[in-house]
Amino acid sequence: MNRIAGALRSPVTFSVLAGVLIGALFLVGTGADPFTAYGAVLSGSLGADGIGSTLTTVTSVLGLALALAIPLRAGLINLGGDGQLVLGGMAAAVTGLYTPLPAPLTVLLALLAGMAAGAGYAALAALCENHFGVPLLVSSLLLSYPASSLASYLARYPLKEPGSSLPQTRQLPDGVALPAFGSSTVTVGLLLVALAAATYWFTDRRTAIGYEIRMTGLNSRFAAYAGVERGGLTLRLMATSGALAGLVGAIGVLSFPYRFLDGALTAPGYTWTGLTAALLAGAAPLGTVLASFFFAVLQVGGLSMERTTEVPRELTQVLQAIVIVFLAARLRFPRGRLRKKAAV
Partner 1 sequence: MTPQRADAEVAVELRGITKRFPGTLANDAVDLTVRRGEIHALMGENGAGKSTLMSVLYGMERPDAGEIRIDGRTVTFADPGAAMAAGLGMVHQSFKLFDSLTVAENVVFAAEPRRFGLVDRAAARRRVRELAAEHGLAVDPDARVGDLPVGLRQRVEILKLLHRGARTLILDEPTAVLTPAEADALFTVLKSLTAQGRTVILVTHKLREVLEGSDNVTVLRDGRVVARLRTAETTADEIAAAMTGRAVELDRVHAPGTPGDVVLDVEDLTTDAVREVGLTVRAGEIVGIAGVAGNGQSELIEALAGLRRVTAGRVTLRGRDITHASATERRARGLAYVPEDRHAVGTAPAASVADNLAMGHHRRSLSSHGLLPPAAVRAHARRLVERFGVKAATPEVPASALSGGNLQKLLIGRELAHEAPLLLVEQPTRGVDIGAIQNIHDELIAYRDAGHAVLLVSAELSEIRGLADRVLVMYEGRVTATYPKDGADERTLGLAMAGGAAPVEVGD
For binding to partner 1 (CB under 8 A), which residues are involved? 205-212, 214-215, 218-219, 221-229, 335, 339, 341-344
Taking the complex as a whole, the smallest distance from the CB of residue 195 to partner 1 amounts, in Å, to 19
Taking the complex as a whole, the smallest distance from the CB of residue 112 to partner 1 amounts, in Å, to 23
Closer by beta carbon to partner 1, 172 or else 237: 237
Taking the complex as a whole, the smallest distance from the CB of residue 232 to partner 1 amounts, in Å, to 10
Beta-carbon count within 10 A of 220 CB? 16
Closer by beta carbon to partner 1, 174 or else 206: 206
- Alpha-carbon span 263 to 127, nearest angstrom: 27
- Identify the three-state secondary structure at position 240: helix
- Alpha-carbon span 29 to 27, nearest angstrom: 5
Closer by beta carbon to partner 1, 39 or else 210: 210
Single-letter code of the amino acid located at 10: S
Q: Which residues contact 39 (CB under 8 A, 6 or more apart)?
A: none
If you compute the radius of gyration of the chain from its CA atoms, what whole number of angstroms results?
21
Closer by beta carbon to partner 1, 150 or else 215: 215
Closer by beta carbon to partner 1, 98 or else 333: 333
- Alpha-carbon span 230 to 74, nearest angstrom: 10
The gap from C-alpha 56 to its chain's centroid, in whole angstroms, comes to: 12
Taking the complex as a whole, the smallest distance from the CB of residue 226 to partner 1 amounts, in Å, to 5
Cα atoms found within 13 Å of the Cα of residue 17, Cβ hemisphere only: 11
- Alpha-carbon span 97 to 236, nearest angstrom: 30
Residue 107's closest CA among 182, 194, 180? 180
Closer by beta carbon to partner 1, 26 or else 211: 211
Taken as a whole, the chain contains a residue count of 344
Taking the complex as a whole, the smallest distance from the CB of residue 198 to partner 1 amounts, in Å, to 15
Closer by beta carbon to partner 1, 131 or else 183: 131
Taking the complex as a whole, the smallest distance from the CB of residue 213 to partner 1 amounts, in Å, to 11
Closer by beta carbon to partner 1, 1 or else 208: 208
Residue 12's closest CA among 317, 275, 331? 331
Taking the complex as a whole, the smallest distance from the CB of residue 61 to partner 1 amounts, in Å, to 28
Taking the complex as a whole, the smallest distance from the CB of residue 239 to partner 1 amounts, in Å, to 17
CA distances from 1 to 6, 7, 54, 201, 324 (A): 9, 10, 32, 22, 27
